[in-house]
Each structure stands twice: as C-alpha cells, then as structure tokens.
Amino acid sequence: MAAGQLARPRGPVDHIAAAHHSTPSNVALSWLLHRFDATLPIPGTSKVAHLEENLAASRIRLYVYELRRSMRVAGRHVGAAHPGPGTSRRLVWCAGGGHEVLAAEATRCEVMPPVSPIPGTVPRRATGQSLASLEPHRIDRIAGTTHCFRENQATVILPFDEAGQGRPIVLLHARPADRTMWRAHLRLLAEAGLRAIAMDLPGHGDAATARRDEVTPWADVLDTLDHLGVDRFTLAGNSLGALVALQIAVSEPWRVQGLVSIGYRPHDLPPSSRLQTAWDRERAALEADNIEAAVQAGVEAWTSPKASDDVRAQAAVMMRNQLVARVTFGEPKVAADPLSKDTGALRALTVPTLVGVGELDMPDFFEGGAGLSDELGAGEVVVLSDAGHLAPLERPEAFCALLLDFMGRLPA
C-alpha cells in the first residue's frame, strides 16, 4: 500500500498523505492502526530518524472517506461479508467494539473496528456506553448509546444515537447529511424530557456500506424502532428525512403521533434555476474527480450565508463522507415509493403536522412546503429565520423550541 502504483505521485495514497502533511508509508501504518484495537506494526528500519517518522503515524486521524478509499484501492470493501456455499448474503457493520453482531450466521464475516471519523473525536464505543460517561468536549459522532447496523433479508437495524427518556421523537436527516446533524438537538430534547432518536438512513453515515438490491428507508426506520421497543412516536425530518417521514406515516399511520417536515420538495416538482445550478456544480465536480469542489458546492447550496463557520465545517464533513460513499458504493436503489402507490394517501392522513422551511432556502422548498401543507391541512408554513435548507442544523435552539411547542400541543 505504501509503495508501487498506490503510492505513486498524485496517486490515491499520496493524495491522502498530502492532506495530512505526511508520507504514504505513514498513511499505510495509520490505516493498520485504525483497523484493529490490538495492532503492532513492525516497520523495518535501522535509523532512529525513520523510527521517529514511523511513530508519527499514530498521530494521524483518518477520515471515514479516507479509510474507505484506502480499503477500496487495496481491493477490499468496508464491512463486506463473504458468504460461503449455501450461506445467505449478509452485510455486517459494527459501530462499536462490543461487536453486537450475529456473525456466526454467516460462514465468514469481516467487521470494521472502531474508527475516529473526525480528527479530535473519539472512536465508536462498545454498545452500552452512555453519553454521560464521555468527556463533553470529546463528544462528536457519539450521543447516547451507540449500537450496530445489521442486515439480512428480513430486517435492518439502522445506526442510531439516542438520548433522554419520555415521549419518543425520531429525527431523520437531510440527503447531504447524516445523523450527526442532530447532535446538538439530542441533548436539548433530552433535557426537555423527551427520548430523542437520530438514525442514519440507508446510504448515509454509518449505513453507507449497505448493499442490497433495493433499500426501503421507511421500513428500515420502523424495524429499528421495533428493535428499540418504540411503538408510537413523533417524526421530524429535514429534506430527504421529511420524505421518509411521510413514507412512514402513510405506511403505518396509527404509530405516528405527530409529523414535522422541514425543507420538503416532491421529486416530480421541476427544479428552479438555483436548484438546477446546485446539482450541475456538484455533478461537474464529481465528473472531474474533485470531491473538495463538490463539497464546497454543496456547502454553498445547502447552508445559508448566515450559517456559522462551525455549522459550515460540520456540513462539509457530512457532505464529504456522503459524496465519497456515493462514489465508492454507488447510489442505493430505492424500492417503490409508498407515496406513489396511492395518490390520495397524503390527503387521507389525519396526523397532526407542522410544515416549515428555512427563510433563505431555495424557492423549490417554499413551493413544496406550501403544497404539502395544503395536502395535509397543516395550516401556514412556518419560516425559520436566518436559515437555509439545513435549517435545523443552522438553528438548533430555534428548531427545538418549535418542536417542543408542537409536541406540547399533541394529544397525550
């Protein structure tokens, strides 16, 4: 990995090394250290200077997309199971050192160990470690108890974070993001007496390694809630999450106590010139194999000019991981949309609903929100001031206040 074609100038490993101001050999050593908790690389050297250089590999923190790219160029795939004769295909992604996966059901499994997705954060912990047991300044991609992603033909348990006790509120992220967009909301909602649950949808975050003929995000969320023992709940979704929330609501409406939709746009709505330009910029950057340009285009499109530097940085990390996962694994094929099976399904819903949009979002989502509110009889669309498409990410306190007010008016 640290020599030959992989480490050639401007090659994949050399590119990662340059990003960390390091060398291909140190990236290879860091990759090994990220792979397993108990790893002892023994690089051969007779020079003290080389030994000190090798020791520096322990200080490199690789991003998720760099780990995936490293494994891909080495001819391997993150989290892929290799079933033997007569064994059903099974993918295993473990989010903690506790390896809560029934790996024995497959003849041969490979489990990706804990990694630090973002420099300065802690790796995924074993199942059962609580939010309170972690140092507050080191909590990033961990909130509440972290569990595993498991997949077989029957059911999927999506990666999730949760915090608090009380009435359940399920948080579903936008398309260019993952469940970490809700990290500030989990604590705020838990402090308000709710049980807040954030999930990675298929093809995003820690569920980006999922490979099936078809994915059913709405069914996967319901399976995960069954796993958590949650029967009835309120759904809050942003963008893609808003769509999945609607799909859940029409699939099992008796379980949904309330519905909050932010930044919704039906897929059959013709895009505005602003939205089409955002798509074109991202597509051109990816075709040029320029992930960073695609990330920058996404940050400019989906966050507002008033977003803080911290928000834009967090959005960039999520978008980078999502884009690289898309390039690496491809877009997951989504099963037939339950909304398309019955054109009157939304109008038939009687679930209390709140529809909102960021003040600085594209016109598509104002139009989409107005149409959705009309179909659901939700009343006037709520506008979150000084926010773009990822309004909950930009304005977590304001969004949580809106959510708490809405849930306070729901029937007990």
For 140, 152, 167, 251, 252, the CA distances from 246, given in Å and listed in that order, are 29, 25, 20, 9, 10
**101 close to 111: Cβ distance less than 8 angstroms:** yes
Residues 253 and 365 in one domain: yes
The DSSP bridge partners found for residue 91 are 151
For residue 86, pLDDT over 90 is answered with no
* Amino acid letter, residue 102: L
403 with 271, same domain: the answer is yes
pLDDT of residue 141: 31
Cα atoms found within 13 Å of the Cα of residue 331, Cβ hemisphere only: 5
Domain count along the chain: 2
End position of a domain, from candidates 23, 40, 60:
60
Structural domain that includes position 32: 4-60
One domain, residues 171 and 22: no
Cα–Cα nearest to 234, from 248, 251, 220, 223? 248
pLDDT band for position 70 (cuts 50, 70, 90) = low
192 C-beta neighbours (distance < 10 Å), count: 17
Of 60, 78, 106, the domain-final residue: 60
CATH number for the domain harbouring residue 337 = 3.40.50.1820
End-to-end CA distance of the chain: 59
| Residue 400, both tokens | 């949580």
Identify the helix (H) or strand (E) that includes residue 233. strand 233-238
Residues 32, 164: one domain? Answer: no
56 plus 181 within the same structural domain? no
231 and 368 share one domain? yes
Establish if 149 belongs to a structural domain. no
The model's pLDDT over 352-406, given as tens digits with 9 standing for 90+, comes to 999 999 999 999 999 999 999 999 999 999 999 999 999 999 999 999 999 999 9
323, part of any domain: yes
Phi, psi of 130 (to 5 degrees): -90, 165
- For residues 43 and 169, membership in a common domain is answered with no
The reply to whether 321 falls in a domain is: yes
Asked if residue 124 is part of any domain, the answer here is no
Whether 268 and 388 map to the same domain: the answer is: yes
What is the tens place of the pLDDT at every residue in 325-366?
888 878 888 888 888 877 788 888 999 999 999 999 999 999
Residue 172 has pLDDT above 80, yes or no: yes
Assess if residue 167 is contained within a domain.
Answer: yes
* Pick from 388, 347, 391, 339: nearest CA to 371: 347
In a domain, 93, yes or no: no
Identify whether residues 41 and 177 lie together within a single domain: no
Of the listed ranges 1-5, 12-16, 36-40, 118-122, the least confidently predicted one is 118-122
Residue that terminates a domain, selected from 41, 60, 79: 60
Predicted local distance difference test score (pLDDT) of residue 330: 80
Shared-domain flag, residues 209 and 326: yes
In-domain check, residue 268: yes
Answer yes or no: is 39 within a domain: yes
Condensed to tens digits (0 to 9), the pLDDT of residues 290-309 reads: 999 999 999 999 999 999 99
Contacts of 325 (CB under 8 A, 6+ apart): 65, 68, 203, 204, 208, 209
Q: Which pLDDT does position 111 carry in this prediction?
A: 30
